[in-house]
Amino acid sequence: MKRIIAAILSVAMLLSIGVVSFADFNAPRLTNEEWKEYYMSLRDENTLPTLNVGADETQVSLCWHADKAEAKAEVRVSKNADMSDARLFSGKTTPAENDSQLVCRVTITDLEENTTYYYQWHTGKDWSEICEYTTRSFGDHKVLVMGDIQITEIYDDGNDANQIREGYIWNNMLAEALEKNPDVSYFVTPGDNTSSGCTDGEWQTLLMPKALRSLPMAMAIGNHDKKGMTYNYFTNMPNEYYGKHFRGLDRDFWFRYGDVLYLFYDSTSGDAPDHMAMTKEAVALNQDAKWRIGVVHHGIYGAGDAIGDLETELLLTTIFAPIFETYDFDLVITGHTHSQGRSHFMEDRKVVAAAEGGKTYTDPEGVMYLNASCATSTLVLDTDAEHLAYTYRNETPAYSTIEFIGNKLILETRKGDNSELIDTVTIERTTDERNDNSAKNVVKRLAYKIVEFVGFVYTKIDTLVRMFA
Ligand SMILES: [Fe+2]
């Protein structure tokens, strides 16, 4: 009996001191009226911080705007709620999209797993409110995925009705997902974070949900973000790769969390040589990663206008699918079509193996594609495509979680308002060996040199067209 009581007390102590912590996110679900009041209290600022993933699980980054005359790129971090014994992290300030502010970027390092931290960023005048961030396990962990957040701008006539509505849906989608999944480590989204890509207000509303102070985000670039440059001023992504031919907003990036290597591609760029170069570099530096996950905005093998669409066929399938296939990616996350669906295992534009919901697939051939719906509105399709394992037909947006447990990747997709299960599938890897250098993949990558040349020419023509447009 004494041993049992001692064991119970030990667990209670561990929980109380935060060594094992699954503290809920501060993610309140709001009524329309509550959201509108909260939205109006923040609408006319642009200083909310973005919390982004770091280069690995021991890091996160912050990015925020501050007045030009006072801006300081400093964050302090403590394990104590009163900010005692805080560590100071300094970063860089860079020009903002306006003349009155600077963008501050700081990376926080040396984080320990399963630990609660408190942090403040310097607003220029003073330290900000104290926010809380709890790291999870650096091994087995869970990730939250939602597609196209795509917050609309406030129109020139001051009409903010769409922005209010989309912010409300976004906030409550997050609230639902985090209430049911309080153990997620970070958030992945395949781009179109904003609608015009040109106004601060889109980012301000995107960043309003309080949970985002505690949930690091990894955010791809979408075609809507590419309409402007604001992504450049509101994000702080790790290992950004600017390549030889990228220009403007173009960039890829990668990061590592535990056994998982993520490679994010700017699918609005046809610059195949740089996409391949980033892949080679990231893969070479992460040979020991068990899982390889790709993230691109466009729905290469997704639901909706994925196949048969000229842009998708030529620019995307030709450029990206061979990268994913010859480097043996396990899963690719896409968006853009605003329709939720998941593919079977794909290779050479064909289904090479079925991936039915509810089943486990061990060391499968081919690549699976998850096409995330839009986090703020969803298209309901009336057609199926052969490459899809399912198509979600509902106007309520969906969210997905990916859980990495041991040698399993468990993908679940749930309805955004009540977390009803839509789809689940499991991939199991019995070996960490990759076939990157198999004869087939080496030959395919040699053939890909033609794609790299055509992609290079395409980007040059595209540049000229834009210059004279
Ligand atoms: Fe898009």
25 vs 352, more confident: 352
pLDDT at 88 over 60: yes
How far does the centroid of ligand 1 lie from the alpha carbon of residue 155, in Å? 20
CA distances from 311 to 269, 314, 316 (A): 12, 6, 7
- pLDDT-derived band at 252, boundaries 50, 70, 90: very high
Mean pLDDT of 232-254: 94
- Provide the pLDDT for residue 1: 47
Using the mean position of ligand 1's atoms as its centre, give its distance from the Cα of residue 224 in Å. 6
Q: How far, in Å, from the CA of 193 to the mean position of ligand 1? A: 9
Expressed in angstroms and rounded, the spacing between residue 148 Cα and the centre of ligand 1 is: 7
Dist. CA 205 → ligand 1 center (Å): 19
Would you state the pLDDT for residue 367?
A: 97
**Cα of 449 from ligand 1 centre, angstroms:** 28
- Give 316-340 pLDDT, tens digit per residue: 889 999 999 999 999 999 999 888 9
Q: How far is the CA of 324 from the centre of ligand 1 (A)?
A: 20
> Greater confidence, 375 or 408?
408
Give the model's pLDDT for residue 55.
Answer: 98
195 CA distance to ligand 1 middle (Å): 9
Q: What is the 197 CA–ligand 1 centroid distance (Å)? A: 12
Above 70 in pLDDT, residue 16?
Answer: no
Q: How far does residue 297's CA lie from ligand 1's centre (Å)?
A: 7
pLDDT for residue 27 is more than 70: yes
When pLDDT is cut at 50, 70 and 90, the band that residue 3 belongs to is: low
- Per-residue model confidence (pLDDT) at position 10: 46
CA of 359 to the centre of ligand 1 (A): 30
Cα of 190 vs centre of ligand 1, distance in Å, is 9
pLDDT tens, 62-74? 999 999 999 999 9
- Please tell me the distance between residue 411's alpha carbon and the centre of ligand 1 in angstroms: 23
Spacing, Cα 30 to ligand 1 middle (Å): 28
pLDDT of residue 245: 85
Ligand 1 centroid from CA 192, angstroms: 5
Q: Is the pLDDT of residue 78 over 50?
A: yes
Residue 23 has pLDDT above 70, yes or no: no
Q: How close is the Cα of 93 to the center of ligand 1, in Å?
A: 30
pLDDT higher than threshold 70 for residue 4 = no
- The pLDDT, as a whole number, for residue 456 is 82
pLDDT band at 308 (very low <50, low <70, confident <90, very high): low
**Ligand 1 geometric centre to CA of 314 (Å):** 16
Q: 296: CA distance to ligand 1 center in Å?
A: 10
Residue 213, SS3 per DSSP? helix
* Whether the predicted pLDDT of 312 surpasses 50: yes
How many Å lie between the centroid of ligand 1 and the Cα of residue 46?
24
- How far is Cα 199 from Cα 215, in angstroms, rounded to an integer? 23
- Residue 309 scores a pLDDT above 90: no
CB neighbour class for 447 (10 Å; exposed up to 12, middle 13-18, buried from 19): exposed
pLDDT digits (tens, 9 = 90+) for 48-59: 999 999 999 999
Model pLDDT, residue 266:
96
Distance 312 CA to ligand 1 centre (A): 11
CA–CA separation, 293 and 261 (whole Å): 6
What pLDDT is stored for residue 22 in this prediction?
44
pLDDT at residue 311, rounded to an integer: 66
- At 285 the pLDDT is 97
Between the CA of 54 and the centroid of ligand 1 the distance, in Å, is 25
Whether 426 shows a pLDDT value over 80: the answer reads yes
Return phi, psi of residue 113, to 5°. -75, 160
User: What pLDDT was estimated at residue 382?
Assistant: 61
How many residues can be counted in the chain?
Answer: 469
pLDDT recorded at residue 20:
36
Tell me the domains of the chain and their CATH numbers.
58-134 (2.60.40.380), 141-428 (3.60.21.10)
Predicted pLDDT at 70: 96
Whether 7 has a pLDDT exceeding 70, the answer reads no
Quickly list H helices, 301-424. 310, 318-326
How many angstroms is it from 300 CA to the middle of ligand 1? 12
pLDDT, position 454: 84
138 alpha carbon to ligand 1 midpoint, in Å? Answer: 32
Give distance in angstroms: CA of 165 to centre of ligand 1: 19
DSSP-derived letter for residue 241 is B
Dist. CA 222 → ligand 1 center (Å): 5
- Residue 469 is predicted with a pLDDT of 67
Percent of the chain whose predicted confidence (pLDDT) is above 70:
92
Of residues 311, 433, 262, 292, the one with CA closest to residue 368: 292
Q: Give 41 Cα–ligand 1 centroid separation in angstroms.
A: 30
| DSSP letters spanning 100-145 | SEEEEEEEE--PPTT-EEEEEEB-SSSB---EEEE---SSSEEEEE
Token couple for 394: 């509902």
Alpha carbon of 395 to ligand 1 centroid (Å): 18
Q: How far is the CA of 334 from the centre of ligand 1 (A)?
A: 10
Who wins on pLDDT, 51 or 375?
51
Q: Place 25 in a pLDDT band, splitting at 50, 70 and 90.
A: confident
Three-class SS state of 343? strand
275 or 4: which leads in pLDDT: 275
Write out pLDDT tens, residues 194-235. 999 999 999 999 999 999 999 999 999 999 999 999 999 999
Which candidate, 416, 384, 381, places its Cα nearest to that of 401?
416
The predicted model gives 449-464 an average pLDDT of: 83
The answer, yes or no, to whether residue 431 has pLDDT greater than 50, is: yes
**pLDDT tens digits along 102-148:** 999 999 999 999 999 999 999 999 999 999 999 999 999 999 999 99
How many Å apart are CA 254 and CA 262, to the nearest integer?
A: 5
410: burial class by Cβ within 10 Å (0-12, 13-18, 19+)?
middle
